[in-house]
């Protein structure tokens, strides 16, 4: 029996990698698309180096697949030192985080319909907050909310569910600078009800739920995975 296929963008590092490993453990064949990959990524995960902002490159990376049961859009970037305030920096972050997500959904739409599949996008706590230092990142993640809800409505009648997770302070490459800076981490922890950082695997398990039969009547949801940060 052929295993159902999952595509995970950004699946070589951080939350994306944790999702890819979780879906593989659940019995899926997993193909990861992206640029960066950890040197110790398990060999059972297929990794195809792909720029998710280039539709032709995405089509080539997926050309051999007839059906896809799950798409998880976890590829994302953030720029520091004020670079997101420049037109070029702002655009580059949106291209990966928001436009890349739409490109993948568009490329796989018919194959997801054929499988009555599921899409999970990775939003963020910054989908709901303004960011003093990272306006492009916050804007891109706010856009993920609108994109998720729009595709949920557009594809529901064709059997595809589209949801998102909104991680909070999860220890990854993108957040380590803040979490290891006492001047920032102390203030974050003071607000964080669960009083600890989250892990990529904790996000991954929620993603797996949203891809599973247990969530068959759930679509258009943006589910925080943030230890209560967004309600404190």
Q: Whose CA is closest to 168, among 205, 208, 129, 140? A: 129
At 6 the three-state DSSP class reads strand
Active site residues: 137
- Looking up tokens 């679509």 gives 219
Which DSSP string corresponds to 31-61? EEEES---TT--TTSEEEE--TT-HHHHHHH
Axis crossing angle, helix 135-155 with helix 100-114, rounded to the nearest 10? 20
Alpha-carbon distance 38 to 57, whole Å?
21
- The answer to whether residues 176 and 199 touch, using CB atoms and an 8 Å cutoff, is no
Alpha-carbon distance 93 to 153, whole Å?
26
Q: Would you mind telling me the total number of residues written for the chain in this entry?
A: 232
What the block records as the tokens of 35 is: 């640029």
Alpha-carbon distance 105 to 216, whole Å?
19
Q: Sheet of 222-225: strands edge to edge?
A: 46-49, 29-34, 5-9, 70-73, 118-122, 161-167, 222-225
């Amino acid at each position: 029996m052929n295993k159902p296929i999952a595509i995970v963008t950004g699946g070589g590092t951080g939350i994306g990698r944790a999702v890819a490993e979780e879906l593989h453990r659940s019995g899926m064949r997993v193909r990861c698309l992206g640029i960066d990959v950890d040197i110790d990524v398990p060999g059972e995960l297929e990794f195809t180096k792909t720029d998710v902002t280039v539709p032709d490159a995405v089509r080539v990376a997926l050309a051999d697949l007839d059906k896809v049961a799950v798409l998880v859009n976890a590829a994302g970037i953030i720029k520091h030192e004020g670079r997101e305030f420049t037109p070029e920096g702002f655009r580059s972050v949106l291209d990966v985080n928001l436009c890349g997500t739409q490109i993948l959904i568009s490329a796989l739409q018919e194959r997801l319909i054929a499988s009555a599949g599921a899409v999970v996008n990775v939003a963020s706590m910054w989908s709901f907050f303004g960011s003093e230092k990272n306006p492009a990142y916050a804007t891109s993640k706010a856009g993920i909310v609108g994109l998720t809800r729009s595709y949920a409505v557009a594809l529901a009648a064709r059997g595809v569910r589209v949801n998102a997770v909104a991680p909070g302070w999860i220890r990854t490459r993108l957040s380590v600078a803040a979490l290891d800076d006492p001047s920032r981490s102390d203030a974050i922890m003071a607000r964080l009800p669960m009083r600890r950082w989250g892990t990529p695997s904790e996000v991954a398990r929620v993603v797996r739920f949203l891809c599973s039969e247990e969530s068959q009547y759930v679509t258009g949801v943006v589910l925080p995975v943030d230890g209560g940060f967004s309600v404190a």
